[in-house]
Amino acid sequence: MAWTKYQLFLAGLMLTTGSINTLSAKWADMFSAKGCKDSPEHTFSHPFVQAVGMFLGELSCLAVFHMLLCHDRRRPEPKMNTGQSFNPLLFLPPALCDMTATSIMYVALNMTSASSFQMLRGAVIVFTGLLSVAFLGRRLVASQWTGIFITILGLVVVGLADFMSGNKDDSHKLSEVITGDLLIIMAQVIAAVQMVLEEKFVYKHDVHPLRAVGTEGFFGFFILSLLLIPFFYVPVGSFSNNPRHVLEDALDAFCQIGNNPMIVLALLGNTVSIAFFNFAGISVTKEISATTRMVLDSLRTVVIWVVSLALGWEQFHGLQVLGFIVLLVGAALYNGLHRPLLARIPCCASMVEEEEGNPAERARLLDEGRVQEET
């Protein structure tokens, strides 16, 4: 069935804002400006301040939810499903995971390229699959296990590409690139824990998606904003690029923004794009399918890579292309994109039916609307 104009708009919005989100964060990292008290010009290396901006974008989803709710209540017959009442503290553990993972990833983005950053985030499939088996009692089918192993292979290939490029790249030392890649993988473990917590404790309460994102953004924004105070006094030596070599120097960040207003544009791009990206992602899952959302997220990696090459932010590496293709195959197998193709082959149709008969897999397909619930 052909997509409607609204569905095409949502897909384009998700792809565009998702790409802008990573590119604007990397763009901010590339600016240089003087800091406070006439300190020498240095790069804008403030990952925790950037993370606060991202959570502000997520928090705005809560404002959008209440605006939509007010608009819906003015109708003669309200149609908006607000979900059941819930304790907002349910979102605190996932929000803490999101806050930690996001902060680590912004630290890593200072050390590696935007394309590798996006590709290595595919590791979340591996850890989500393993944790869902351990803590949710889910049984993965053969294609999902295959997808996990192929994803691991793709991560190794991307890591090798970064290792080889690190010897030729003047903007990042090899040790920084390796550290950055490892931090991204570590962040995906925490992101997978967040997903498992949300599935186990949050989703059963039927909370509106915009409200869920906004509530997590609320906790992340205020907690991380408060943490900026102790971070101002925590020395970390050469691990930090700010003049005082502390975990985060928010005052230096604001001074740099004042001395180079273009940094504000990059930070606004990050904040605004994450709000629209979350809205578009939720809408794509609802209006089309979760599988389409996964495909668009993979295309986002291509856009980020192509733009980074065009802007001269990184060099072309064939091994990185191979790694992306392998990661794409792994994600496709894990998310079941191969099934429609195999179902057309007579000898493979029974295998597809057997996989879809798996209770856990059937539940996932029900969520995507690809099978109808039996009554």
Exposed / middle / buried, residue 373 (Cβ in 10 Å: 0-12, 13-18, 19+): exposed
Of 105, 95, 127, whose CA–CA distance to 22 is shortest?
105
* pLDDT at 357 (0 to 100): 54
| pLDDT block averages, 10 residues each, the chain of length 375 | 80 92 93 87 93 94 89 82 79 93 92 88 89 87 91 92 68 80 94 87 76 91 96 89 90 93 94 88 75 78 90 85 90 78 61 54 45 32
* pLDDT at 365 (0 to 100): 45
- List the structure tokens of 311: 């802007």
* pLDDT at 252 (0 to 100): 94
State if pTM tops 0.75.
yes
d(CA 266, CA 31): 9
* pLDDT at 79 (0 to 100): 77
* pLDDT at 341 (0 to 100): 64
Q: Pinpoint the alpha helices (H) of 86-243.
A: 92-109, 114-120, 124-135, 142-166, 174-197, 209-231
* pLDDT at 371 (0 to 100): 36
Please report, for residues 15, 107, 201, 306, 346, the alpha-carbon distance to residue 311 in angstroms, rounded to integers and kept in the order given. 19, 22, 43, 9, 48
Q: Are 103 and 168 in contact (CB under 8 A)?
A: no
* pLDDT at 199 (0 to 100): 80
* pLDDT at 362 (0 to 100): 46
Q: Given the structure tokens 């590409």, which residue do they identify?
A: 161
Q: Are 362 and 189 in contact (CB under 8 A)?
A: no
Residues 6+ away with beta carbon under 8 Å from 39: 243, 252, 255
